[in-house]
Amino acid sequence: MFFHIVLERNMQLHPRHFGRNLRENLVSKLMKDVEGTCSGRHGFVVAITGIENVGKGLIRDGTGFVTFPVKYQCVVFRPFKGEILEAAVTMVNKMGFFAEAGPVQIFVSNHLIPDDMEFQSGDMPNYTTSDGSVKIQKDSEVRLKIIGTRVDATEIFCIGTIKDDFLGVINDPTTA
């Protein structure tokens, strides 16, 4: 799920950036530092949408660096248990399949794939129903339900299931 929230961060800025463009430098450094990172609390920071306010800078003794407390608005993405997500399949093997929803890695074990879907090995491994009408392979898009999440410093892991009503393939690359 996406959230638009306000976060705060202390930014250290090198003295060479002081001057007319101080603010721009601060913002671009903030974007570089924050976008694409993960925190257990807020999930994955997708993008900074605006700066709320930049506090008073504090000059560090000895280095000349200045620390600014910056409040910024950003869009974060955090998966929740029970959430329904759409994800792209990245790898299929006999244990199940891996899918990605943006930065989130989701594993769907073969226990949580409907029983009528069987694993087919080969150069394009896939899970297929006995009548061949539904096929999950690399690059398929699936709708799945998150049943467990863990947020690392840099990654988000999820366990998903498609063994439920209204879940499964929503777009097959072979037919598209």
Binding site for other proteins (CB under 8 A): 1, 3-5, 41-42, 76, 78, 80-84, 91, 93-96, 98, 105, 107, 109, 111-112, 119, 121, 123, 125, 146-150, 152, 155, 157-159, 161, 163-166
Tell me the closest approach of the beta carbon of residue 43 to other proteins, in angstroms.
Answer: 9
Parallel, antiparallel, or unpaired: how do β-strands 43-54 and 117-120 relate? unpaired
Q: Which is nearer to other proteins, 24 or 52 (CB)?
A: 52
Quote the least distance from Cβ 14 to other proteins, whole Å.
32
**Minimum CB–partner distance for residue 58 and other proteins (Å):** 26
CA distances from residue 140 to 37, 40, 90, 176 in whole angstroms, order as listed: 26, 29, 8, 10
d(CA 87, CA 135): 15
> Whole-angstrom Cα distance, residue 126 to residue 137?
5
- Which CB sits closer to other proteins, 18 or 80? 80
Between residues 6 and 59, which has the closer beta carbon with respect to other proteins? 6
Q: Shortest Cβ distance from residue 19 to other proteins (Å)?
A: 36
Question: How far are the Cα atoms of 61, 94, 114, 162 from residue 109, in angstroms, in the given order?
Answer: 54, 9, 10, 9
Smallest distance, other proteins to C-beta of residue 167, A: 9
27 versus 89: smaller Cβ distance to other proteins: 89
Handedness of CA 128, 133, 134, 137 (dihedral sign): positive
Nearer of residues 26 and 38 to other proteins, judged by Cβ: 38
